[in-house]
Amino acid sequence: MKLRHTVLAALAASTLAAGAHAADLFVSIHSGSAMAQGAGLVLAGQALEQKASVRVLLCDAAGDIAVAGKELPTLKPRNVTPQQMLQGLIQAGAKVEVCALYLPNTGRQASDLLPGVTPAKPADVAAHLLKPGVQTLAF
């Protein structure tokens, strides 16, 4: 009986330790398609709800999601734009960046971006991607 309690306690401790270690998810979105953007943002949101650390990198046409005041299509079934989805991610704690090439190649400035979105530093992004256990998704 005592052995059984010891084994159960060890299993509980290992389960708690595993649950305490949140996963890292890196989502790269470059598609100009609102549905592809939305799919990436939905999965990022679901990961946040499941206590993962989420980092989103927006490149090419997807960088437009992060431009304040940008008109974007509404996606069903929730009737929200990719920008509204992105703002929800930021409020929930996701780190959001536009790739280093986005601003200089679109003529935009960092001040054109939504609050909470920053220009990425390639060395920081590469270091993050090389960390053990980082899961990646690309859209």
Residue 21 has pLDDT above 80, yes or no: no
| Domains detected in the chain | 22-138 (3.40.1260.10)
Q: List, in sequence order, every residue forming a beta bridge with 54; answer none if it has no partner.
A: 25
Mean pLDDT of 116-129: 98
Q: What is the pTM of this model?
A: 0.84
- Alpha helix (H) ranges present in the chain? 2-20, 34-49, 82-91, 102-106, 122-129
Residue 20 has pLDDT above 70, yes or no: no
The predicted-structure confidence for 39-66, as pLDDT tens digits, reads as follows 999 999 999 999 999 999 999 999 999 9
What tokens were used for 114? 């939504």
What tokens were used for 73? 């299509």
